Amino acid sequence: MNKYESVIIVNPEIEEAGLKALEEKFTGLINKTGKVEEVKNLGKKQLAYEIKNFKEATYMQFDFDAEPQTIAELERNYRITDDVLKFITVKKEA
C-alpha cells in the first residue's frame, strides 16, 4: 500500500452535517481497501479565482494508505459528487 494525501474543495454553502456526510462517504470508500489515517477540515478559504461562481470554499484533507486502484474509484466519486468543486490526490514519499 502507498501513502496518499487528497484535498477536496467543497461548496461553501454546505452545512456542518453535510460536510460530515461527505467525510463519512469518502472515508468509507477508502476504508474498503485501505486505511484512513486522518481527516482535517481546513475550513473556509478565499479562492484565487472563482469556481462555479463561488469566491470561497471549504477545504478538506484526507491522509490515507491505499492501493493504486482505490484512487481511481475515489476520484470517480469526487467527480460525480455535485458538492465537490475541485480535488487533487497526490502520493506521499515513503
Q: How long, in residues, is the chain? A: 94
DSSP code, position 1 = -
Q: How confident is the model at residue 40 (pLDDT cuts 50, 70, 90)?
A: very high
Q: Which CATH superfamily groups domain 2-59+66-91?
A: Ribosomal protein S6/Translation elongation factor EF1B (3.30.70.60)
**Which pLDDT tens digit goes with each residue over 66-77?**
998 989 999 999
Stretch 55-71: mean pLDDT: 93
The per-residue pLDDT for 94 is 66
CA 56 to chain centre: 16
For the whole prediction, is pTM greater than 0.85? yes
Where in the chain are the domains?
2-59+66-91
Cα(57)–Cα(83) distance, integer angstroms: 10
